[in-house]
Amino acid sequence: MTTEDISPRYLDLDLWTNIEALRALYEAQLAAVAAVGPALPAIAAAVDQAVARLRKGGRLIYVGAGTSGRIGVQDGAELAPTFDWPRDKLVFAVAGGEAALLQAVEGAEDSRAGGAQRMAEISAGDHDVVIGLAASGDTPFTVSALEAARARGALTVGIANNPGSPLLETSDHPLLIETGAEAIAGSTRLKAGTAQKVALNLFSTLTMLRLGKVYRGLMVHMRPVNEKLRRRSVQIVSSVAGVSDAAAAAALAKSDGDVKHAALIALGADPAAAPYLLDKHAGNLRAAIAEIASRA
Q: What is the pLDDT of residues 29-61, one digit of tens each?
A: 999 999 999 999 999 999 999 999 999 999 999
Distance CA 197, CA 108 (A): 22
Q: Please, are residues 31 and 209 in contact by the beta-carbon 8 Å criterion?
A: no
First to last CA, the chain: 62
Task: Locate the DSSP E strands across the chain.
Answer: 60-64, 90-94, 129-134, 155-160, 173-176
> Which residues on neighbouring strands pair with residue 64, listed in sequence order?
94, 133
Angle ∠(34,36,37) on CA atoms, nearest 5 = 75
Delimit the CATH 1.10.8.1080 region(s) of the chain.
Answer: 227-295
Delimit the CATH 3.40.50.10490 region(s) of the chain.
Answer: 2-210
> Which residues on neighbouring strands pair with residue 90, listed in sequence order?
60
Number of H helices, E strands in the chain: 13, 5
At the topology level, CATH places domain 2-210 in Rossmann fold (3.40.50)
- Choices 1.10.10.10, 1.10.8.1080, 1.20.1630.10, 2.40.50.100: CATH for 227-295: 1.10.8.1080
What does the mean pLDDT of the chain come to? 94
Q: What is the pLDDT of residues 103-121, one digit of tens each?
A: 777 677 878 899 999 999 9
Which residues does the annotation mark as catalytic? 78, 109
Distance CA 295, CA 289 (A): 10
Distance CA 24, CA 228 (A): 37
How many Cα neighbours within 13 Å face the side chain of 38? Answer: 11
pLDDT at 296: 67
**Could you tell me the pLDDT band of residue 285, with boundaries at 50, 70 and 90?**
very high
